[in-house]
Amino acid sequence: MDVFEDLESNVRSYCRTWDTVFARADGSRVYGEDGRGYVDFFSGAGALNYGHNNPLLLRPLLRYLESGAIVHSLDMKTQAKRRFLEAFRDLVLIPRELDYKVMFTGPTGTNAVEAALKLARKVTGRHHVLGFTNAFHGMTLGSLSVTGNSMKRRGAGIPLNNTSSIPYDGYLPPGTDDLIWLRQILADSGSGVDKPAAVIVETVQGEGGLRAARAAWLHDLSEVCRAHGVLLIVDDVQAGCGRTGTFFSFEPAGITPDIVCLSKSISGYGLPLALTLFRPELDLWQPGEHNGTFRGHNPAFVTATAALETYWADTGLQERVAARTAELREGLEEIAGWSDGAQVRGRGLLAGIFYPDTRTAARIARQSFAAGLLVETSGPESEVIKVMPPLTISAEDLATGLDLLAGAATTATR
Ligand code: PMP
The answer, yes or no, to whether residue 19 has pLDDT greater than 80, is yes
Q: What angle do CA 245, 248, 249 make, to 5 degrees?
A: 65
CB atoms closer than 10 angstroms to residue 223: 13
CA distance 277 to 300: 17
Q: Residue range 173-189: average pLDDT?
A: 87
Sheet holding 373-374, edge to edge: 22-26, 29-32, 37-40, 373-374
Ligand 1 atom with least separation from CA of 238: 5
Q: Residue range 240-251: average pLDDT?
A: 98
The answer, yes or no, to whether residue 178 has pLDDT greater than 90, is no
Q: How confident is the model at residue 44, as a pLDDT?
A: 98
137 CB under 6 A from ligand 1?
Answer: yes
84 CB under 6 A from ligand 1?
Answer: no
B/e letters for 109-129, b = 16+ CB within 10 Å, e = fewer, are bbbbbbbbbbbbbebbebebb
Residue 148 CA, ligand 1 centroid: distance in Å = 13
SS3 at position 271: coil
**Contact status, residue 334 vs residue 402, Cβ threshold 8 Å:** no
**Contact status, residue 61 vs residue 270, Cβ threshold 8 Å:** no
Q: How confident is the model at residue 51, as a pLDDT?
A: 98
pTM value?
0.98
Q: How confident is the model at residue 192, as a pLDDT?
A: 86
Q: How confident is the model at residue 52, as a pLDDT?
A: 98
**Contact status, residue 65 vs residue 303, Cβ threshold 8 Å:** no
The answer, yes or no, to whether residue 124 has pLDDT greater than 90, is yes
Alpha helix ranges (H) inside 273-374: 298-311, 316-336, 360-371
- Give 248's DSSP letter: S
Pocket test for ligand 1, best of 136, 146, 204 (most atoms within 8 A of CB): 136
Q: Residue range 252-277: average pLDDT?
A: 98
The answer, yes or no, to whether residue 8 has pLDDT greater than 80, is yes
- Give 27's DSSP letter: B
Ligand 1 atom with least separation from CA of 110: 16
The answer, yes or no, to whether residue 20 has pLDDT greater than 90, is yes
- Give 354's DSSP letter: E
Least confident of 184-198, 276-290, 322-336: 184-198
CA distance 414 to 403: 17
Alpha helix ranges (H) inside 337-381: 360-371
Q: How confident is the model at residue 139, as a pLDDT?
A: 97
Query: Nearest C-alpha to atom 12 of ligand 1 is from which residue?
Result: 109
Residue 115 CA, ligand 1 centroid: distance in Å = 14
238 CB under 6 A from ligand 1?
Answer: yes
The answer, yes or no, to whether residue 176 has pLDDT greater than 80, is no
263 CB under 6 A from ligand 1?
Answer: yes
Q: How confident is the model at residue 238, as a pLDDT?
A: 98
203 CB under 6 A from ligand 1?
Answer: no
SS3 at position 84: helix
How many percent of the chain have pLDDT more than 70? 100
The answer, yes or no, to whether residue 177 has pLDDT greater than 80, is no
Q: What angle do CA 313, 315, 320 make, to 5 degrees?
A: 125
**Contact status, residue 351 vs residue 344, Cβ threshold 8 Å:** yes
User: What is the average pLDDT value for the chain, to the nearest integer?
Assistant: 96
| Closest to 391 (Cα-Cα) out of 242, 183, 194, 259 | 242
The answer, yes or no, to whether residue 335 has pLDDT greater than 90, is yes
Residue 261 CA, ligand 1 centroid: distance in Å = 10
Each residue of 201-211: pLDDT tens digit?
A: 999 999 999 99
The answer, yes or no, to whether residue 126 has pLDDT greater than 90, is yes
CB atoms closer than 10 angstroms to residue 82: 12
The answer, yes or no, to whether residue 217 has pLDDT greater than 80, is yes
Q: Which amino acid is at 45?
A: A
User: Looking at the chain, how many residues does it have?
Assistant: 414
207 CB under 6 A from ligand 1?
Answer: yes
Ligand 1 atom with least separation from CA of 207: 5
CB atoms closer than 10 angstroms to residue 35: 8
Q: How confident is the model at residue 190, as a pLDDT?
A: 80
Each residue of 376-403: pLDDT tens digit?
A: 999 999 999 999 999 999 999 999 999 9
110 CB under 6 A from ligand 1?
Answer: yes
105 CB under 6 A from ligand 1?
Answer: no
45 CB under 6 A from ligand 1?
Answer: yes
Angle in degrees, 0-180, between the axes of helices 395-412 and 316-336, rounded to the nearest 10: 20
| Residue 42 C-alpha from the chain's centroid | 12
The answer, yes or no, to whether residue 56 has pLDDT greater than 90, is yes
CA distance 256 to 246: 14
Q: How confident is the model at residue 41, as a pLDDT?
A: 98
Q: How confident is the model at residue 45, as a pLDDT?
A: 97
Query: Nearest C-alpha to atom 1 of ligand 1 is from which residue?
Result: 137
305 CB under 6 A from ligand 1?
Answer: no
Each residue of 274-316: pLDDT tens digit?
A: 999 999 999 999 999 999 999 989 999 999 999 999 999 987 9
Residue 333 CA, ligand 1 centroid: distance in Å = 27
270 CB under 6 A from ligand 1?
Answer: no
SS3 at position 18: coil
Residue 109 CA, ligand 1 centroid: distance in Å = 5
Residue 190 CA, ligand 1 centroid: distance in Å = 33
The answer, yes or no, to whether residue 145 has pLDDT greater than 80, is yes
**What is the ipTM metric for this complex?**
0.99
237 CB under 6 A from ligand 1?
Answer: yes
Class of residue 362 by CB neighbours under 10 A (exposed 0-12, middle 13-18, buried 19+): middle
147 CB under 6 A from ligand 1?
Answer: no
The answer, yes or no, to whether residue 191 has pLDDT greater than 90, is no
Each residue of 147-168: pLDDT tens digit?
A: 999 999 999 999 998 999 999 9
CA distance 236 to 51: 19
